[in-house]
Structure 1
């Protein structure tokens, strides 16, 4: 596989639509190509935001209709043609593929409200945590609804915290994320909506993550019971 061909695998790599040989080649390539690293991070951030978006319940008959059509429809492989295109052109098409897959999932399982998401300013850090060899994914449900998924890497000292469908708060309050250990609770940031993503440092003594309801500007220490607790086992 040529260097130019490896460059075109960013979107397929994010969607896990590559062979084992392609995955190994692209993983090696990522170590020396910051451009592809940024594109992988951007694609993953887009897919994560779409996947974590708040949804409305679809028609209860929709899922059964789709599954019925699948069983009755012959699956024909796509025709493949040889085409020369620049790496940038392929990346543009691949971005559309990532968004298209997420959008298709939204059609099946509910509508998307992008405005409800909290931005994570460090998409590259998301990749670092998710791809860490010791990455551990933990999930917990909230006491009043919603859930949180926490991915941790002790080797890299980071945690990726994603919340979904936490109950909406009034304008005077936000959700505050805490990383808690033997030294007490340390603030990891604020979420101004019920669904959002944060990448935060993970202290060596941290043994749990908590989310509380605090004033909009945040608090130096938790002032209310946690709405979600995630033990970092």
Structure 2
């Protein structure tokens, strides 16, 4: 088979091929064990991306908050028992009532501001997640995507997809549990330069999908075991070293 048919792996997984390309590639899959393996791995990654979509609060949250503030009764102040006092002048009663209204409106505004800021924060996070997912799909579906992979010595595998057309790559990590007190850390290595940290996983985290801009200029993607929160330089030996060139 030609190199062109192999390059359809990412586009096929993301359903970004036409009917003719799909039929041709499916015929190719029956003969190519390597492509079948890559389709399986990328399909699992695409499924994880779909499962991790963010949930954004509904647009009617603002109206509901304001409505609830209007219906919520303000509790009266607690006062000590005392003998009846003379009725305050009318202007004082009016001033007190106005102050109570201002306080109630202020409290309602504070509730709305907190809720509105929370909605804005969650919307920004959701938009960033959608943009990152779109970037991943674009790179994996690129016509020039090149896949490299290597087993992790502690168990699992690192797969790296690079596209010179998009000057970026996607690192897909699916590893076994790290030893107690250690986390996985990804590194990029460039000619003549020191390793640069690409991502530090949280304690107990064994899988990640990371977009790395400018990755085609690197020679290796490494994986090490580090203390929680990572290290400034890799702890050798690396548990995986994916050669890109």
TM-score (ref. length: structure 1):
0.49
Q: Structure 1 or 2: larger strand share?
A: 1
Considering only CA atoms, is the larger Rg found in Structure 1 or Structure 2?
2
- Return the structure number with greater relative CO, CA threshold 8 A, min gap 6: 1
* TM-score where L is the length of structure 2: 0.47
